[in-house]
């Protein structure tokens, strides 16, 4: 399969969101995605973009995969890259598209001078774990993820 990796553009956002929804279904949380096209467009291409990404397109310009990254700051390491999502449509898997997208993210992190690139992978996603291990990644089972929902944030901010 012949694909081209290019920087994501505003016109790509509808298909990118479709792939995010496909990922959510795969991760057994199809109703968890609350972001809209408008929000995703603004967050990536508005006045203060917070993410950047790439798309994998075939000869017909159909988007088969995406990678979305942003910058994090580590008080121990400085600026680091964070890979939020890498998604290849189920029909296009097994053709090296994910690796090409990952390498595009890695190259951008090198260009920006980041200390490292980090991401999360579900402990039951054996295919993704094998993918990252094949690339030589260190997977750390030591850290737990924390999160407060919008309602929890509000209660915390109010001192409740």
**What are all long-range contacts of 90-93, with beta carbons under 8 Å and residues at least 24 apart?**
90/22, 90/26, 91/64, 92/1, 92/3, 92/56, 92/64, 92/65
CA distances from 38 to 35, 42, 43 (A): 8, 6, 9
Q: Which of 70, 82, 114, 132 is catalytic?
A: 132
Helix %, strand %, coil % of the chain (to 5): 40, 20, 40
**Cβ neighbours of residue 82 closer than 8 Å, sequence gap 6 or more:** 69, 70, 71, 72, 117, 118, 119
132 belongs to the catalytic site: yes
Contact between 48 and 58 (Cβ < 8 Å): no
CA dist 12 and 86 (Å) reads 15
Active site residues: 132
């Amino acid at each position: 399969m012949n694909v081209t990796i290019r920087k994501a553009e505003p016109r790509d956002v509808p298909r990118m969101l479709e792939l995010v929804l496909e990922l959510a279904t795969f991760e057994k949380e199809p109703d968890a995605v609350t972001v809209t096209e408008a929000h995703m467009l603004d967050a990536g291409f508005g006045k203060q973009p917070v993410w950047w990404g790439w798309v994998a397109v075939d000869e017909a310009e159909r988007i088969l995969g995406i990678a979305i990254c942003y910058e994090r700051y580590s008080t121990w390491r400085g600026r680091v890259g964070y890979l939020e999502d890498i998604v290849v449509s189920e029909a296009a898997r097994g053709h090296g598209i994910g690796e090409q997208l990952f390498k595009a993210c890695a190259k951008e992190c090198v260009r920006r001078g980041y200390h490292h690139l980090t991401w999360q992978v579900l402990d039951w996603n054996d295919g993704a774990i094998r993918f990252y291990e094949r690339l030589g990644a260190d997977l750390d089972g030591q850290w737990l993820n924390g999160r407060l929902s919008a309602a929890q944030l509000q209660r915390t901010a109010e001192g409740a």
